[in-house]
Amino acid sequence: MSILFSMSISYSMSISVSRIFSRRYLRQLAVGIFTLTFFFMPSVGSGQSKSVPGLKSDPLEVQSRFTTIENRKHPDTSQQKGSDFVSVIVKLKPDSVLEYTGEIPGLAATSPRITGADFNLHSAECQKYLQHFQTELKAFQKDCRARIPGAKISHTFDVLFGGVTLLLPREKISEVQKLHGVKGVFADRLIPLATDRSSDYIGAPVSWQALGGRSHAGEGIVIGMLDSGVWPDHPSFEDPDPTGLPYPPPPPSWKGTSCEFSGGENPGAPFTCNNKIIGAYRFMQSYDEIVGTGPAEYTSARDEDGHGTHTASIAAGNADVSATILGSNLGKITGVAPRAHLAIYKVCGAEGCVLSDSLA
């Protein structure tokens, strides 16, 4: 049986070990795979200008995905009173200075892929090419003012991505492709910050199917979390899970015996371990001696910080748990291995994590 450990000191390290021993014998950990949480942002890369990922040749194809700038005042749009403004990213035909490979007579290549030298924006070659780019940009701006009154360039990209961001009335989107020097147009989108996309990002749903479906993902695995503890009453750790499916007992190789949600001056509410959270320990002797336990810190494995609860739910939180903040429903969340067991090792306090506690 494989047992995974996640540590945190700002580190969320997954550590694979062959078995879990009792508290006294947990001495050595083998460092493995980093577990990272990301939020999605679209890329406007600096790749070959002949193939720009995500670029749409026809702006109408992506019109429904443009970000609407509602109720926005614009100094030049009195004639379009009441119209919605949208933001689009326009790829111009001139390459960016980092992309340019030397096709224009009299203008030397500036791309490091061609020159073989470190990129230097202040070199004579780069500055000369930037003058050419600015000439083309001015021609685009002149045509834009004539065809789309009230449009405004909010960003100009000449180093990594040859283009602009254009704010314009929605009904004028079809005019953008007709402007001087336009190679393509695609949506400028508002991307909300997210903490619930990790599973999709790393391709966990594909792995779930290979393992017989999400309802079996993580079965027989114990994930040990070395972090700030856990809030065990969270629905991500309920047994049975939200679908009503109970957890089986821990595998026979599990040697843990403690469930430390009691003891000390401030243990917090008591909690009895179930078959989801199968063990909980507080390894903070060094922290207590070096830093000292604050009045708001629990003297049990209960999490007063929230970081450990968050990482535990990412690793093995129950499937289809409703996420709510201040009464607002933010949808459903699911851990990467939703049917795995959890063993909690609290090694971090409000001031951080003492290394020797993590090794105890």
CB 325 within 8 Å of CB 310: no
Chain-centre distance for alpha carbon 244: 30
pTM to 2 decimals? 0.53
Domain 3-39+194-359 is found in CATH 3.40.50.2300: no
pLDDT digits (tens, 9 = 90+) for 274-314: 999 999 999 998 888 888 888 999 999 999 999 999 999 99
Place of tokens 């336009």: 182
pLDDT digits (tens, 9 = 90+) for 243-277: 899 999 999 989 888 899 998 899 999 999 999 99
Angle at 177 between CA 176 and CA 180, to 5 degrees: 85
Q: Domain locations in the chain?
A: 3-39+194-359, 59-187
Looking at per-residue pLDDT, the higher value among 146 and 15 belongs to 146
pLDDT winner (highest mean) among 48-52, 131-135, 348-352: 131-135
Amino acid present at 12: S
Sequence-ordered strand ranges (E) for 32-143 = 67-69, 85-92
CA distance 150 to 91: 20
CA distance 238 to 280: 15
- What mean pLDDT is predicted for residues 131-152? 94
Residue 1 has a CB neighbour count (10 Å cut-off) of 13
pLDDT for the residue 339 = 93
Looking at per-residue pLDDT, the higher value among 265 and 205 belongs to 265
Q: Tell me if residue 310 falls in helix, strand or coil.
A: helix
Task: Using pLDDT thresholds of 50, 70 and 90, give the confidence band for residue 128.
Answer: very high
First to last CA, the chain: 23
Amino acid present at 162: G
CB 155 within 8 Å of CB 67: no
Please provide residue 342's backbone torsions phi and psi, each rounded to the nearest 5 degrees: -125, 135
pLDDT for the residue 4 = 53
CA distance 143 to 158: 19
